[in-house]
């Protein structure tokens, strides 16, 4: 879901500790709502087609399909502060 941004919405970008721009988390929040967007890493076209076909036919990994973003203590504290404002 793409967040609908308001004038009061703040955006915070968290880059993974591995410093890859393929691992980015964007937290957009205002007084009421908080959107957490995870950047999807671009894959080569054949891999995307294969993933799409696999998804259509319900093929899943035993572990599910996940990507991770590693946040160090400083970034984690920043994320916690943003989330605590939402309470």
Residues that bind Zn ion (CB under 5 A): 16, 18, 20, 23
List, in order, residues 6 or more apart from 37 with CB less than 8 Å away. 2, 3, 25, 26, 27, 28
Kindly state the smallest distance separating residue 20's Cβ from Zn ion, in Å: 5
User: What residue is closest to Zn ion based on CB?
Assistant: 16
| CA angle, residues 13, 41, 6, in degrees to nearest 5 | 35
Kindly state the smallest distance separating residue 24's Cβ from Zn ion, in Å: 9
Q: Closest CB to Zn ion among 16 and 27?
A: 16
Q: Closest CB to Zn ion among 20 and 86?
A: 20
Residue 7, both tokens = 């004038």
């Amino acid at each position: 879901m793409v967040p609908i941004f308001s004038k009061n919405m703040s955006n915070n970008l968290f880059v993974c500790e591995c410093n890859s721009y393929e691992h980015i988390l964007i937290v957009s929040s205002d007084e009421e709502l908080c959107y957490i967007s995870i950047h999807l890493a671009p894959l080569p076209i054949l891999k995307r087609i294969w993933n799409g076909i696999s998804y259509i036919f319900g093929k899943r990994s035993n572990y599910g399909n996940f990507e991770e973003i590693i946040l160090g203590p400083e970034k984690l504290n920043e994320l916690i502060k943003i989330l605590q404002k939402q309470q």
